Structure 1
Amino acid sequence: MIPTAPEGYKSGFIGILGRPNVGKSTLMNQLVGQKIAITSPVAQTTRNRLRGILTTPEAQCIFVDTPGIHKPHHQLGKVLVKNARMAIDSVDIVLFVVDGSGVAGGGDRYVAELLSQTQTPVLLGINKSDQQAEDAEAIDQTYTELASVQGWTVTKFSALTGDGLDRLQSLLVERLEPGPYYYPPDLVTDQPERFIMGELIREQILLLTREEVPHSVAIAIERVDEEPEITRILATIHVERPSQKGIVLGKGGSMLKAIGTAARLQIQKLVMGKVYLELFVRVQPKWRQSRTRLAEFGYQVED
């Protein structure tokens, strides 16, 4: 049941946008206080628009984590960027996140240009303040100049340490309009548990494998059996080439075992109980170029 919000309560949808690898997913996890989006050093980790829900006594903020905006090189990339662009006009506020460990670059200017064409209010957030060196002021200035042209407010924080997030949250709530509870107050995401299970498996592949494997992987959760003492999960890892299958399997199945062990530990936190995880690897040639395969794996342009 969704309760009736008190008078003057605020709510709304906040799109988190920016280049790949600026820390958008880490930020959303920190804001909602729970891991719901996967993170890795690999660019373009986020593939779906994922909603994280933060409910406070004053407001309900629904954060929409989007794929990093980049120049797409295949059908999957086109779908991801189109979904991110669609989010710009379907939210109440855009939080434009940039990487404060380096100066503003062409990718930031490209995103800024996209956002300059929207009527949606924009707040520019300089992330990774914990990674800034002595030239922090000069770095910040490049982003302040980018924002001042559009009249955007700028705030600075570290998604990793949580420093500056109280101010960020206050600025966002200030900009929200009065509104209802969109979700039950105790909910932190609208994504089904199976989706998050698949993402936690994919995260370990991103962390443990290199070369061309990370971007060529899709996870299908085939079966979930919830027993009183244990949750049994059967999942298939889809790759595009036999060579990638060999990398994911590893010598004598060692890599697959490492992926499974690490993912199982993460999934146990999600389901708050014991997990038995069985993984298979299957070659699905050129799935990123196929609209049918993309739809099967849950990657389609959202309404």
Structure 2
Amino acid sequence: MLDPFWILVAVIALALVFNFTNGWHDTANAIATVVGTRTLSPWMAILLASVLNLAGAFFSTEVAKAIGEDIVNIHYVTLIVLLSALIAVIVWNVITVLMGLPTSSSHALIGSIIGAALAYKGPSILQYHGIITILIAMLISPVLGGIVSAAIIKLIRGFFSNIPRSRVKTIFKYLQILSSAFMAFSHGASDAQKAMGVIGMALFAFGSHSQFTVPWWATAASALIMGVGTAAGGRKVIHTIGSRLSRLETPQGFAAETGAAFLLTTVAKIGVPVSTTHTITGSIIGVGAAERLRSVRWSVAGKIIYAWVLTLPGTAVMSYLLYMALKFLEP
């Protein structure tokens, strides 16, 4: 039997690997529009996103608490459950980023935790109220992102209606750098906390903490690793969101990023773990549809939605099977 301490070390290491894949996978959330409009080069945009992701991770720990306490009953979570869940979500993130599919790391992590927990203890371990609240928020967030961003682009078109379109594009070329930075900050504020939540659960399961808590070193490590993952840059996902989903100009990119970032920072402070991928994708679709329905490539949007639908059950099944294979490690 393995020493529980080394299992704890493995879980913490895998939580940080997950955060790396999260940053790698979700680089597109922060910079796809600014790259798609050719406001910044991919490397400059990735550098900007990496720095702001790092800063955003220190914004709040409310989402980490939701991950740690609102999905499963933390008193019945073991290190092997977390180990199985993390392996599943990492594999899923790597596969989807290589395929260029902008799936949700949040959905993937939640599905993985649920699947491994079900394999360990059955349905009684699940926190149904918390899960339903999180899922409703994740379903609503892309819709709200689309509505807010559509409203912003309508306001922009109204205020700048008497200014030549080329001049408007130039003005928003600079404003979009700010909106991209805001989006990167909000991504760090929301997604970096998910690894913090898993680390907090692992420390509780190990017995080193009497209640769920996120130590300062977990925040710092999660922030740093997500920044490094963002710097790695998922180029295929950036291309899918920034270029294939809808043709964007700088005002549209500004509207999509500002609407999504405003929504994400709000829910991060409240403590609801929504998907940054879903939110920015919904915002881009909303901006495109607000100006012209045909500007959105609905076939690409359909493929993205299929991937969204498959993520949670796919990772749940994967982590369930992984736990069944690893349960012999339970003390």
TM-score (norm 2): 0.23
Tell which has more relative contact order, 1 or 2 (C-alpha 8 A, sep 6+): 2
Which of the pair is proportionally richer in helix?
Answer: 2
